[in-house]
Amino acid sequence: MEQEKKQVEAITSMKEDFAQWYTDIVIKAELTDYSSVKGCMVIKPAGYAIWELIQKQLDERFKETGVENVYMPMFIPESLLEKEKDHVEGFAPEVAWVTQGGLEPLQEKLCVRPTSETLFCDLYKNIVQSYRDLPKVYNQWCSVVRWEKTTRPFLRSREFLWQEGHTAHATAEEAEARTIQMLDVYANFCEEVLAIPVVRGQKTDKEKFAGAMATYTIEALMHDGKALQSGTSHNFGDGFAKAFDIQYTDKDNKLSYVHQTSWGMTTRLIGAVIMVHGDDRGLKLPPRIAPTQVVIIPIMPNKEGVMENAKKLADSLKAKGIRVKIDDSDKRPGFKYSEQEMRGFPVRLEIGPKDIERGVCVAVRRDTLEKSEMTLDGAADSTAELLDTIQKDMLEAARAHRDAHTYEVTTYDEFVDTINNKPGFIKAMWCGDQACEDKIKEDTAATSRCIPFGDHKAISDKCVCCGRPAKKLVYWGRAY
């Protein structure tokens, strides 16, 4: 019992110290480990398996929209990076440089890619000649490097994994449609697979991507009330095309510039899953993203028929396409329960001699810890239904938490009081002046998260900061 107690005590309570709680889960659930390279993380099998499922399911959704995968070099010549002024200025503080190859200094510095717009532009310049060559809808899965000063596993590290889509189109309308289409792919993926509800919207000019004409975002709310930008989609217009001279001959035999987009999601999604769903017992994985959806725990495994029935149960689940494993280690059952809860497996099935006599097993949900009995004959169907229920319930629980921590305010005093005492999203009106954005950030450390899509009623007719006529409803919040 002492061992089981220590297993839970190893996780700091989220109310006591949310940052330490997060770190404890990442380490104790064996998602990552520390690296001898400062600011970089080792993604262990349990963490990488989650990323593989994210990658697989996102990639399938991309390809349904006509996306093709490519792979670009990880190095960018300095002269290429500097072709788009706003872009290079936006990334300059985070760029890592290679200045020597082998024993010789390089004639030109090489940037280790922080993102690959310039490389794709260089490619498109060479392969796009005519309207018949368009659109180009490419994506790559890779790692990028950004020299962050403050790092945290998954949320912010100097090297991280992601996908970056880069597309070229004949018209502004096509580019805008693709930008919104990919944001919708992201939003649906977060809600349907990660069980994370998101707010879709447009970034203000202050917060948009360096070099973009418009940046669209999905914003999620973590359990501690902080926002997390979970995916972005950028419309570049023809700005990059003009900087890189990407022209094509249109149907009227005239030269025109292409219109481009870029969009990306990263391993920070794993951090989002932890912070939206986890609790003081550990990780809590939505079934569709759980590498192990069901763990079977044999009770008294040395008793005749127990392991045989456990394996038979596992086979029936596998036949249903359920990802399952049997914990046949020699640890005590209580320790196995704690470990299952720590690692976030959605369902635990307990099976022992008395259960077998009655033709049942005991199912325990990780999300609510509710117990129920299933007949062994019907366990495969019952478990599949239970996993679907858990997936839906986790999304609804996360949505209820977000909605309960979203506040409408109309005065600046109310804004300051709310951001300091009620962590969450704040909906407030804005005049459109960056000076008000800057003041809010300076006074409260809150930033504009997005101008939400859709019809949103005006909370008031005045800017929450300056009192002048308001132009936009904005979601505000402190963020990771």
Classify the C-alpha dihedral 53-57-60-66 as positive or negative: negative
Q: Which two tokens stand for residue 474?
A: 């904005």
d(CA 158, CA 151): 7
Cα dihedral 132, 135, 136, 138 sign:
negative
pLDDT of residue 1: 45
Torsion over CA: 221, 227, 233, 237 (sign)? positive
Sign of CA dihedral 457, 416, 149, 18: negative
Cα–Cα distance, 193 to 53 (Å, whole number): 10
Q: Which residues pair with 372 in a beta bridge?
A: 363
Structure tokens at 329: 């280690």
Tell me what pLDDT residue 9 has: 58
Number of Cα atoms under 13 Å in the Cβ half of residue 465: 24
Amino acid at 243: A
Domain 406-477 has CATH 3.20.20.450: no
**Those residues with Cβ within 8 angstroms of residue 454's Cβ, 6 or more apart along the chain or in another chain:** none
**Cβ atoms 157, 150 nearer than 8 A:** no
User: DSSP assignment, residue 299?
Assistant: S
The C-alpha atoms of residue 73 and residue 64 are separated, in whole angstroms, by 26
Yes or no: say if 301 and 356 are a contact pair by the CB < 8 Å rule. Answer: no
DSSP 76-138: EEHHHHTTSHHHHHHHGGG-EEEEEETTEEEEEEEEEPS--HHHHHHHHHHH--BGGG--EEE
Single-letter amino acid code for the residue at 424: G
Burial class (CB in 10 A: 0-12, 13-18, 19+), 371: exposed
Total Cβ atoms within 10 A of residue 81: 21
Is the domain spanning 31-277 CATH 3.40.50.11540? The answer is no
Token pair 């149907």 is found at 251
User: Is residue 336 classed as helix, strand or coil in its secondary structure?
Assistant: helix
Domain boundaries, the chain: 31-277, 287-386, 406-477
**Token pair for residue 246?**
């990407």
**Token digits for 435?**
């000076």
Q: Do the beta carbons of residue 147 and residue 158 sit within 8 Å?
A: yes
What architecture (CATH level 2) is domain 287-386?
3-Layer(aba) Sandwich (3.40)
Question: CA separation (Å) from 366 to 103, 238, 282?
Answer: 55, 49, 10
Q: Given the structure tokens 């979203």, which residue do they identify?
A: 406
Output the pLDDT for position 275: 98
Residue by residue, pLDDT tens for the chain (480 residues) are: 444 445 555 899 999 999 999 999 999 999 999 999 999 999 999 999 999 999 999 999 999 999 999 999 999 999 998 887 777 787 888 999 999 999 999 999 999 999 999 999 999 999 999 999 999 999 999 999 999 989 999 999 999 999 999 999 999 999 999 999 999 999 999 999 999 999 999 999 999 998 899 999 999 999 999 999 999 999 999 999 999 999 999 999 999 999 999 999 999 999 999 999 999 999 999 999 999 999 999 999 889 999 999 999 999 999 999 999 999 998 999 999 999 999 999 999 999 999 999 999 999 999 999 999 999 999 999 999 999 999 999 999 999 999 999 999 999 999 999 999 999 999 999 999 999 999 999 999 999 999 999 878 889 999 999 999 999 999 999 999
Peptide bond into 135 cis (omega under 30): yes
CB distance 464 to 429 below 8 Å = yes
CA atoms within a 13 Å half-sphere pointing along the CA-CB vector of 166: 18
Residues 6+ apart with CB under 8 A from 351: 296, 297, 298, 299, 306, 309, 310, 313, 361, 362, 376
Cross-strand partners of 262: 166, 234
Q: Could you give the CA distance from residue 184 to residue 164 in angstroms, rounded to a whole number?
A: 16
Residue 114 has φ and ψ, to the nearest 5°, of -90, -20
